[in-house]
Amino acid sequence: MSISIIGYDGRGKAIHEMFPSAIIYDSNIVKYSQNMDAALKTHFCFICVSAGEMEGGEINTSTIESIIKTSQARINIIQTILPPGTARYFAEKYKKQIVVLFRYCETENQHRTYLIGGECNSIKEVTNLLSKDLKHFFLKTSFETAELGMYVYNIASAMQITFLNDFFEFAHNLNADFDVLCKFWNLLCKYNPRYKPKNDLRGFTSKDFILSLSSAINIAEEKGINTFFLDGISRANSFNIRKNFYPKERHSSRILFYQIEQPYGCFSNFSKHPVYLKNKIWMTVEHYYQAQKYAGTPYEEELRMAPSPVKASKMGRKKNNPKRDDWENVKNDVMREAIFAKFTQHPDLKAKLIATGKADIIEHTENDSYWGDGGDGLGKNMLGEILMEVRSNLQQGEKI
């Protein structure tokens, strides 16, 4: 019975320990980068690649979909965070057998608990494959429940980390022993020690936690679900990460921005500074940027007339409206055009941008790792890069 593993991170390595003869494919590891065709033709294919992040905190499922679409495996076993409903959609669209699998190992006795979702026959085959070890315990359920289970685990971990970070402040200010408090917490909750915050590294220890939070909040907003608690965790974590990665004494030449009411909030695409482009007035840069995804269609004008940048952002990300085919190739240029218009059409903004000198400009948010820094400094920060590029041109009196 053939087994393959696509993606050799911690999840892939754990499966490999169970099945040493499995075929492994990972494009980022040279010795495993040539096995794609073979990996897609096995009986069981474990998909362990990480999902990416899109604008606004949504999870990018395109890589997973590409694997499912081309896979010839009998059963595809997904071990990646997905928006609830995605696996069922892929199974029905591509007529493939899919199982969503999440494994949690308790630290004391390595007792493995699996949350497994899918159709009954597929679940049965996968549980038979994994049940060689009598320590395994399976919670069998639907696609959606298993997908949501991954959110439960990651967000619960995020909550615990944020809680301990807060108590680090108590300990630091009251001369209490934080290590003892952590040990006490472990005894109370059997909390995994590998998540213990350290004095030199604050905030989350896994980007999966940040992605889960952002995606869950995004999904909740679309469904009209109250997210006060998740918002609080997200804000607290953002604060902790900011203290860790951007302490003032070490990074005095950095300018962070995100919320429009904060210092340098005018650098945000949501700031209420209209731009004149394509012979029309756009309420904000966000209005223009989102509308250009649908340039030349009636929806472009609908987006221009959106009552707020928040609404324009949500409208621009609706999946039932297909974007222009070349969007990924032109989106940076569209953003550059809009930013240049904003900072040349508003003299006060131009002066403020030029006055930043040579400081690094960073959109600091865990909600976006492409336009922003991802909250941990590992994101591309493309909006910040474009702002610095425009600043350089303005400082030299040039035009883009």
Q: How far apart are CA 217 and CA 245, in angstroms?
A: 24
Number of residues assigned to the chain: 400
Q: Identify the pLDDT of residue 78.
A: 96
Task: Answer yes or no: are the C-beta atoms of 45 and 77 closer than 8 Å.
Answer: yes
- In the chain, CATH 3.40.50.720 covers 3-141
pTM above 0.85, yes or no: no
Q: Which tens digit of pLDDT belongs to each residue from 318-362?
A: 877 888 988 988 999 999 999 999 999 999 999 999 999 989 999
- In the chain, CATH 1.10.1040 covers 150-245
Whether the CA torsion 14, 19, 21, 25 is positive or negative: it is negative
Low-confidence stretches of the chain (pLDDT beneath 70): 54-57, 104-111, 132-135, 166, 169, 186-211, 236-252, 398-400
User: What are the angstrom distances between the C-alpha of 35 and each of 305, 330, 384?
Assistant: 50, 33, 38
Q: Identify the pLDDT of residue 245.
A: 53
- In the chain, CATH 1.10.357.40 covers 254-395
Q: Identify the pLDDT of residue 188.
A: 66
Q: Tokens 């905030």, residue?
A: 203
Task: Answer yes or no: are the C-beta atoms of 267 and 286 closer than 8 Å.
Answer: no
In CATH terms, the fold of domain 3-141 is: Rossmann fold (3.40.50)
Q: How far apart are CA 45 and CA 66, in angstroms?
A: 14
Q: Identify the pLDDT of residue 210.
A: 65
Q: Identify the pLDDT of residue 57.
A: 64
Quick one: tokens of 106?
């308790």
CATH class for domain 254-395? mainly alpha
Q: What is the CATH number of domain 150-245?
A: 1.10.1040
DSSP state of 175: T
Q: Identify the pLDDT of residue 70.
A: 95
